[in-house]
Structure 1
Amino acid sequence: MRVRKAVLPVAGFGTRVLPATKAIPKELLPVVDRPALQYVVDEALEAGIEHIVFVTGRNKGAIEDYFDIPYELEVALEKKGKDAILEQVRATTLPAGAASFVRQQSPLGLGHAVWCARDIIGNEPFAILLPDVIVKAQPSGLAQMVEAYNKVGGNIVAVDPVPMERVSSYGVIAPVSRDGRLIKMSGMVEKPPVESAPSNLKITGRYILQPEVFGLLEDQDPGAGGEIQLTDAMARQMESQDFYAYEFDGKEYDCGSKAGYFEAVLAHALDNEEIADAAKSLVKQYASNL
């Protein structure tokens, strides 16, 4: 079956970027001229996703408002003849019926957040995009994964290489065989010691999973941090279904950390036609003072 739906877990507190996230959902922190979440949604849409399920929590109403039609703003921009800005604003509105919002009432982990979307996803394969991660790629990171999925089916996780000395900070895969960027895998190891790590391919926040994972999440015991972990259910699913990793062609930015967020802003500023020259000038100015 074609991958038509995607789950975006957006219920987290954003503790790594406090105090900014006291009042602003971390997913709406701006990366140049649009919130981080917009980049993730655009990635999903480019991959052919037709329906996005946002798993929200308390104080996340601004996310729902952001993707709605801002009538007063559009009227004001239209009256002032600001057509270019109006077009940009309208491009952020999701089509009617293309988004659902469900609540995760308690922060019980990523696996629990995904499970909350079970009735909307139904019995079909689906994508998961972690909103903390912006993937800068062409075609989009998820589009590359969907192309691979259309060839092999099964379940696919996105990976990218890190220096071997840093593998103990990430979850990495155990590869079996490789065909170009597609890798058959036999397992996942969370933060392994360097000397016993099965690879240097870390798991990035993009997944394509079969719907059987919902049944596994239903009775999944709490794992690390006392939370329902998606990776624990995936490990069980791996016993009966094929799993692949896909080393995408692109660059990922972890906007969930302050340094990663700064890197994302800088990279996208340097790539923005409107401000690229000014951004380059500022970078040179500050670099010369170091």
Structure 2
Amino acid sequence: MLPASKSIPKEMLPIVDRPAIEYVVKEAVRAGIKEIILVTHSAKTAIEDYFDTQFELEEQLEAKGKNTLLAQVRDILPHDVSLISVRQHRALGLGHAVACAAPVVGDAPFAVLLPDVLVDCDGLDEDLGIMVERYQASGAAQIMVEEVPAERVDQYGIVALKGGVPVPGESTPMTAVVEKPAVGEAPSQLSVVGRYVLPGEIMGILAETPRGAGNEIQLTDAIASLMERAPVEAYAMRGRTFDCGNKAGYLQAIFHFAARHPELGEQVREMMAAELG
């Protein structure tokens, strides 16, 4: 996302009128999660500041009678949800980032949401909430997956399944995760999306996981080790994903959420139609 992300964390780039990270945090909140842990580094203090209370701004909005804006500012994080941040001092991979939260997570089950990816279920029961319910009911870790074209499997982590491909909204046992397999050699066309519900015990596994692909500690390697001792399931998502880690995906997310915006939607759809005209 350069050059925009040169001075602004890419998670803070706006999707219409809110930064991308807010969409992800609120997705977790809607799934019933009450404790949010941000894994950040020194260049991303803007993320922490965004979720903090700004009394001066709220006082100004209240004094000017801008009650709608005041409500939106106060609605960023519900009062019954706590948010803290921990620092990842060196970028050593997703597995390392998750492990940085171990002192806070302890032995409790937790979810991992990658902020590059936005998920919209368009009014359906949300995928992350279903994954949490399935974990609570079965004790099996849940890995969100979606189907990708066969010619693009070499760009993703691809799961191997014990049974047939699950229908959207259902889970099936996994036997392996293959990182970027060669086209024609992939065990399925189901790619890992960036949403995980995991048991606390994986923190101990991560602590012993050596560096893998890219000389980084990979979460997929730890999940592979977890499968040797506990059930792990692939959850076939029903919603739609937007990869905001690249320019095309970011613009697609803006178009999608702008067209559905409660205040701007009609105007945006008219503008899009005029541009395509």
- Cα separation, 2, equivalents of 1:23 and 1:194: 37
Aligned-pair CA distance for 1:80: 1.1
- Cα separation, 2, equivalents of 1:219 and 1:184: 24
Please tell me the root mean square deviation across aligned C-alpha atoms, in Å: 1.4
Deviates more, 1:140-149 or 1:88-97: 88-97
Task: Tell me the amino acid that sits aligned with residue 247 of structure 1.
Answer: A
Alignment deviations for residues 127-166 of structure 1 (CA, whole Å, 9 cap, x no partner): 0000111100133331121122222212110011112222
Report the equivalent of 1:172. Answer: 158
- Cα separation, 2, equivalents of 1:246 and 1:158: 5
**TM-score, with length taken from structure 1:** 0.90
Report the equivalent of 1:139. Answer: 125
Report the 3-state secondary structure (helix = DSSP H, G, I; strand = E; otherwise coil) of the residue aligned with 2:257: helix
2:29 to 21, 37, 45: 45
Aligned-pair CA distance for 1:249: 1.2
- Cα separation, 2, equivalents of 1:284 and 1:238: 49
Structure 1 position 100 matched with structure 2 position 84: yes
Structure 1 position 163 matched with structure 2 position 152: no
Report the equivalent of 1:276. Answer: 265
Question: Do the aligned residues in 1 keep the contact of 2:134 with 2:140 (CA within 8 Å)?
Answer: no
Report the equivalent of 1:124. Answer: 108
1:148 to 129, 134, 145: 134
Question: Do the aligned residues in 2 keep the contact of 1:129 with 1:207 (CA within 8 Å)?
Answer: yes
Report the equivalent of 1:6. Answer: none
Which runs of 5 or more structure 2 residues have no equivalent in the other structure?
A: none
Structure 1 position 75 matched with structure 2 position 59: yes
Aligned-pair CA distance for 1:93: 3.4
What number of residue pairs does the alignment pair up?
A: 272
Report the equivalent of 2:17. Answer: 33
**TM-score, with length taken from structure 2:** 0.94
Task: Tell me the amino acid that sits aligned with residue 69 of structure 1.
Answer: T
Which runs of 5 or more structure 1 residues have no equivalent in the other structure?
A: 1-16
Structure 1 position 113 matched with structure 2 position 97: yes
- Cα separation, 1, equivalents of 2:246 and 2:132: 28
Question: Do the aligned residues in 2 keep the contact of 1:68 with 1:94 (CA within 8 Å)?
Answer: no
Alignment deviations for residues 208-262 of structure 1 (CA, whole Å, 9 cap, x no partner): 1111211121121111111111111111111111000111211011101111101
